[in-house]
Amino acid sequence: MRPSLASRLMLRIGVLVAAGAVILVTAAWYYARAAADDAYDRLLVGAVLQMTESLAVEEGELTVSLPVSAFELLGLAGQDRIFYRVIDTAGRTLTGYDDLAVPPGAAGVMGDQPLVTGGRHGGEAVRMAVAARRLTDPAINGTARVVVAQTERARRDLARELTLRVVGLVVVMAAVAVA
């Protein structure tokens, strides 16, 4: 015996709604991840630019007075860990984590356009920002760099939260469509 027209129609509608839901949830996850990356990358860029601006030459020596506001900015992602490294014109670590690697492509970074990229530090995935400042003092001539890295926990949490909100809406819409 063949299934009724109503049950066949219901099955086809259900399959279409389920396929649409999968597409919507996948798109929501992608856009949530992109939004989280964009938001937290802006914090990272703000902090690395503040640190770069704090570089100064005093009595022929490169000095840095790391602004508390840069750490407060990064602290907005409460559960993340922060790493930084200030590198002088000779490539030596002035302060910070000496084992924090400078990401590839950082050599061409200058001014207020930091490089933001993914990487690893201490076995954990991080987002990194690198900014550079050209120093033209008679005692010090060259480029100093600042590297700031932040773990990705807050990014993942925000993307998950945004995606789950969309999943709830999609489930409600699917239930209404099928009902």
Q: How confident is the model at residue 162 (pLDDT cuts 50, 70, 90)?
A: very high
- Mean pLDDT, residues 152-172 taken together: 90
For the chain, percent helix, then strand, then coil, each to nearest 5? 45, 25, 25
| Confidence check: pLDDT of 111 > 80 | no
Question: Average model confidence (pLDDT) for the chain?
Answer: 89
Position 11 scores a pLDDT of 85
- Count the Cβ atoms, other than its own, within 10 Å of residue 130: 23
CATH, range 33-158 = 3.30.450
- Mean pLDDT, residues 69-78 taken together: 84
| Confidence check: pLDDT of 164 > 80 | yes
Dihedral angle over CA of 87, 71, 162, 19, nearest 10: 10
Between CA 16 and CA 28 the distance in angstroms is 18
Give domain limits for the chain: 33-158
| Confidence check: pLDDT of 113 > 90 | no
| Confidence check: pLDDT of 69 > 80 | yes
pLDDT tens digits, one per residue of 8-41: 888 888 888 889 889 989 999 999 999 999 999 9
Q: List C-alpha distances in Å: 27 to 10, 21, 168, 177.
A: 25, 10, 14, 20
